[in-house]
Structure 1
Amino acid sequence: MDLHDQLKNLFPDHVSEESNEPKIEKPDFWIQDEPIICKYEKRKGKPVTILEGYNGAKEDFRKLAKALKSYLSVGGSFKGESILIQGDYRDKIMAFLKENGFTVKRVGG
C-alpha cells in the first residue's frame, strides 16, 4: 500500500486533481512560420551563437532571449533584430526552439 492509497483511505471523498493526461503548456512567445536562422561566429576570438529572422513583436523576442539564456545558463544580449548567446550552443538552442514549436535553420559550419 503506497502513500496515495493511504490518503484515499483517510480522505475518501477527496477528489484527486491529478490526471493521467499530460498537460500541454503554451509557449509564452509568438510562433512564426518562417524558420529562425541559427549561426555561429567568432567575435574578438570568442565564440558567439546568433539567432536572426524572428518577425514577431520585440517583446516576444526579448522573452525568447531571456528563456534561452536561463535555459543554457549563459550570458547573452538582445540587439536590434538578433539574439547573441555567448558560446557555441547551436545544437542545444535548436533543440530548445524545436521543442517550443519553432522551425530552425542552421547556417554555417
Structure 2
Amino acid sequence: MKEESPVPSPVVLGIDDLRPLPWTTRIARSSGEGVELLQEHRDSLIDELWLDHDLGGDDSIMPVVTLLEEAAFNGRPFRIGTVYVHSANPIGAETVVRSLTRWNYQVRRATL
C-alpha cells in the first residue's frame, strides 16, 4: 500500500514589534530579525507574510521591503502567496503596498 505524503503546513510569517499574531508560524520583532527570517525562507514558499510598518523607535519595515524589492529587481522575487500590511500608520502602510505591488507581489491591506 502506498503511503500518502504528508501535506506541508502553511508557512505564515509575521514582522511586528507588538502584536502577538497567533496564526503565524514564526514572528520577528524588528526589521533586522525580519530580514533574517526571510533569508531563512529564501528558497521556499511563504504562504502569507504579515507586515507592520512601525517597529518601535526608529525602526520600520522598510529594510524588509527593500530586500523584497531587490530580489524582484534581480529577477528572483521571494515566493510569497500574499503579503498582508496591517499597520496603524496609513501613510507607511500605503508606501509598503505601493512598493511591493510595483514588483508584482500580491499585497493586501488588513485590519486587526
TM-score > 0.5, shorter chain as reference? no
Bigger relative CO (Cα 8 Å, ≥ 6 apart): 1
TM-score (norm 1): 0.29
TM-score (norm 2): 0.29
